[in-house]
Structure 1
Amino acid sequence: MSKIESVTCTRLTTPLHTPFVTALRRTSTTDSVVVRVTDTDGVTGWGEAPQVWQVTGESLAGAEACVAGPLRERLLGADADDLGPLTRAVAGAVARNHGAKAAVDVALHDLVARRRGVSLPVLLGSTTHRVPTDVTLAAGTVDDLAAAAAARVADGFSVLKLKVGTDAASDVARVSAAREAVGPDVAIRLDANQGWTPREAVRVIGALEDAHTDVEVVEQPVRAEDLDGLAWVTARVGTPVMADEAVYGVRDLVEVIHRRAADLVNVKLAKCGGIGPARTLLELARAHDMGTIVGSMMETHIGVGAAASLVAAYGTTLTSDLDAAWWAGSSPVRGGLRYDGAAVVLPESPGLGIEELV
């Protein structure tokens, strides 16, 4: 019987090919803690904890301390194949620290998949290794968004996610310009990243509806903690509304469902704590006829590979948001996923298929 022998952390900074700009922040890098869990047979599983101060509030230093301390203590000497009990132990080891727990949860799933000689999608119950993704357009001027929209369609993407919420007064013009640039056959969704007040959200969404911009969905229009405001917006617009930052775990989603605060939910591993909790959220949403996508923070091929594997196995209502690693100037790992137009292609080699950092 193989035991877990080591749990290690490495900080990783990956330059982006284009600055990523939202209503919450601007960044030119992806900053993560890479976690590796190794057993006594020498098999290693990989996971990732991204640093996104404005969303999760978690830091690289905090993730390292959590992984190297209480999470590592729960794992050392444990049966490497005991996936269910191990992931439950990780989930209950500390309060919050969702990114750190997600990194260890994913590393354990990757480890078990490698030990069994199957890819992570297959471990999760899928035979699919190719899943579609949208692509995000960073917040910018009217001309910037129109040009970026046309460029991404030329790259093969058919679902565009526009970052808005930086200026409610001009958001309608930016979205209208993007629609004009790509025509009627491309799906456009919006992510305000909490940038509007409820009244601004209703006013902007209503104006977009009147302008026939055919927006697919609007994500997190108001502050995460303002569930009353989110419900108020959802009840007053025809465009579907998606909760993102408002939902971390099961209790959050139950409250959103109870209040009818949103039509869909964006499930992210680094928000909820890993693959196990994410599966629960997807199943809960479906049980209540709520739409779903799986998203990612600004993560590398490690975190996005895990999220895409979950989508391959479970599917989502709309095309998921798995483009974070596409923004990297180059892959920070050897092996792992690749992009083929608007598709994430996952390796059929064991686990996430990652061999080493480069």
Structure 2
Amino acid sequence: MKLTTHLISAPLHTPFVTALRTATRADSLLVELSDGPLSGWGEAPQVWKVTGESRAGAQACIEGPIAAALEGLGPDDFTEALRRIENATAGNFGAKAAVDVALHDLVARRHGVSLHGFLGSTIDTVQTDVTLSVGDPDALADAATARVADGFGVLKLKVGTDAVADVERVRRVRAAVGPGPRLRLDANQGWSRRDAVTAIRALEDCDLELVEQPVAAADLEGMAWVTDRVGTPILADESVYGVRDLVNVIRLGAADLVNVKLAKCGGLAAARTLLELARAHGVRTIVGSMMESHVGVGAAAALVAAYPTSAVNDLDAAWWLRDSPVVGGIRYDGALIRLPFEPGLGVTGLIA
């Protein structure tokens, strides 16, 4: 098998603003894993403020230790190849995820089935929420109204910059869209534990579905403190990369749900383990994405099709792109992601 990497920088149609950063482009590394005439695709997004991984670092990891670990193996060595990808290096979960997904994609293509079919599903649509960037109350209310008109029934509001102002923003959005759409908040670690409790309690009459990562990722005790003091479900995101992290969340009762992302955990193989572990311990689940393209989001959507989660998933990342950087793959239809019928991810190459 041959590994080839491709740097991409895809412009967004609208700036994406969170408590941690402002993005106007999605910078990623696409990975092509070839065996004869067939190629599988994967993606390692650059997310400085969350995973700390860069395109250059992912490229060095993939072309160095991961490529060396896979030397001599072919697609039929699927299980062994997955083990070697996982053990090739410490950390570097985005790089591992890209090669893990490319391998899954390649094997699915060899079997002539879609990736979601290879994972065991006949479901060909997956629902997603849509994110509203951090902004002033008027802008948020306008954006929320527009997204509901676009067909989205679950809105995720980025908060975490100022707890008092956040309350006003959320109230304006609820007033603008009415009681129908579900609202979920993502603080991206931006609140203190006390501010989190104050803000969430102040908004419980707004019928929030959940609040994601209200406090710093490392502060599991703080997140457990918040979870114990509010009625709104708490979702762990940046606090959970792998199995050990999820075990600690479960042990402390730190969250009601966990957000599983391929670029955080290392790929489809690790993500399946996390989803099963959470389910076994009564922790609800969603699958999310970083700011990535139709390749990474397509893999996550295929996972959701085969491993249904507890709530609508957070897979709108590629919706923010002005244009897809690849030929084929998933497409958005309002709040639905339509999975391809073609083999694997349905991606046939880069757009020139």
Unaligned runs of 5+ in 1: none
What does 1:210-225 align with in structure 2 at a 5 Å threshold?
A: 212-225=205-218
User: 3-state DSSP class of the match of 1:45?
Assistant: strand
| Match of residue 180 from structure 1 | 175
Q: Write the deviation string for residues 278-334 of structure 1: whole angstroms up to 9, x where unpaired.
A: 000000000001110000000000000000000000010000001000000011111
User: 3-state DSSP class of the match of 2:16?
Assistant: strand
| Match of residue 72 from structure 1 | 67
Q: CA deviation at 1:42?
A: 1.7
What does 1:15-30 align with in structure 2 at a 5 Å threshold?
A: 15-30=11-26
Q: CA deviation at 1:77?
A: 2.4
Distance (whole Å) between structure 1 residues aligned to residue 306 and residue 174 of structure 2: 32
Matched, 1:156 2:151: yes
Distance (whole Å) between structure 2 residues aligned to residue 152 and residue 59 of structure 1: 31
- Which of 199, 202, 206 is matched with 2:201 structurally? 206
Amino acid corresponding to residue 130 of structure 1 in structure 2: T
What does 1:216-255 align with in structure 2 at a 5 Å threshold?
A: 216-255=209-248
Amino acid corresponding to residue 230 of structure 1 in structure 2: M
Matched, 1:264 2:257: yes
Q: Write the deviation string for residues 183-221 of structure 1: whole angstroms up to 9, x where unpaired.
A: 111100000000000000000001101xx1100000000
| Match of residue 35 from structure 1 | 31
Distance (whole Å) between structure 2 residues aligned to residue 81 and residue 162 of structure 1: 44
User: 3-state DSSP class of the match of 2:75?
Assistant: coil
Distance (whole Å) between structure 1 residues aligned to residue 213 and residue 251 of structure 2: 17
What does 1:199-348 align with in structure 2 at a 5 Å threshold?
A: 199-209=194-204, 212-348=205-341
Distance (whole Å) between structure 1 residues aligned to residue 343 and residue 155 of structure 2: 32
Distance (whole Å) between structure 2 residues aligned to residue 55 and residue 308 of structure 1: 21
- Identical positions, percent: 64
Q: Write the deviation string for residues 170-193 of structure 1: whole angstroms up to 9, x where unpaired.
A: 101100111111111110000000
- Which of 109, 122, 132 is matched with 1:137 structurally? 132
Q: Write the deviation string for residues 108-150 of structure 1: whole angstroms up to 9, x where unpaired.
A: 0000000100000000000011010000011100001100000
Q: Write the deviation string for residues 151-187 of structure 1: whole angstroms up to 9, x where unpaired.
A: 0000000000000001112101100111111111110
Amino acid corresponding to residue 228 of structure 1 in structure 2: E
Amino acid corresponding to residue 344 of structure 1 in structure 2: I
Distance (whole Å) between structure 1 residues aligned to residue 149 and residue 41 of structure 2: 34
Segment of structure 1 superposing worse, 85-94 or 236-245: 85-94
| Match of residue 107 from structure 1 | 102
Amino acid corresponding to residue 154 of structure 2 in structure 1: V
Count residues with an aligned counterpart. Answer: 351
State the TM-score, normalized to the length of structure 1.
0.97
Amino acid corresponding to residue 265 of structure 1 in structure 2: V
Amino acid corresponding to residue 340 of structure 1 in structure 2: D
Distance (whole Å) between structure 2 residues aligned to residue 89 and residue 247 of structure 1: 22
What does 1:38-77 align with in structure 2 at a 5 Å threshold?
A: 38-39=34-35, 41-77=36-72
Q: Write the deviation string for residues 219-259 of structure 1: whole angstroms up to 9, x where unpaired.
A: 00000000110000000000000000000000000000000
Amino acid corresponding to residue 20 of structure 1 in structure 2: F
User: 3-state DSSP class of the match of 1:71?
Assistant: helix
- Which of 93, 96, 108 is matched with 1:98 structurally? 93
Segment of structure 1 superposing worse, 165-174 or 237-246: 165-174
| Match of residue 14 from structure 1 | 10
Distance (whole Å) between structure 2 residues aligned to residue 110 and residue 75 of structure 1: 16
Flag as ranges the 4+ runs of structure 1 deviating above 3 A: none
Distance (whole Å) between structure 2 residues aligned to residue 125 and residue 347 of structure 1: 15
Segment of structure 1 superposing worse, 233-242 or 165-174: 165-174
User: 3-state DSSP class of the match of 1:82?
Assistant: helix
Q: Write the deviation string for residues 59-100 of structure 1: whole angstroms up to 9, x where unpaired.
A: 111100000000011113202122221111101110000000
| Match of residue 122 from structure 1 | 117
Q: Write the deviation string for residues 313-356 of structure 1: whole angstroms up to 9, x where unpaired.
A: 00100000010000000111110000011000010100000011
User: 3-state DSSP class of the match of 1:7?
Assistant: strand
Amino acid corresponding to residue 246 of structure 1 in structure 2: S
User: 3-state DSSP class of the match of 2:171?
Assistant: helix
Distance (whole Å) between structure 1 residues aligned to residue 184 and residue 49 of structure 2: 22
Distance (whole Å) between structure 2 residues aligned to residue 195 and residue 332 of structure 1: 32
Matched, 1:89 2:87: no
Unaligned runs of 5+ in 2: none
User: 3-state DSSP class of the match of 1:33?
Assistant: strand
| Match of residue 348 from structure 2 | 355
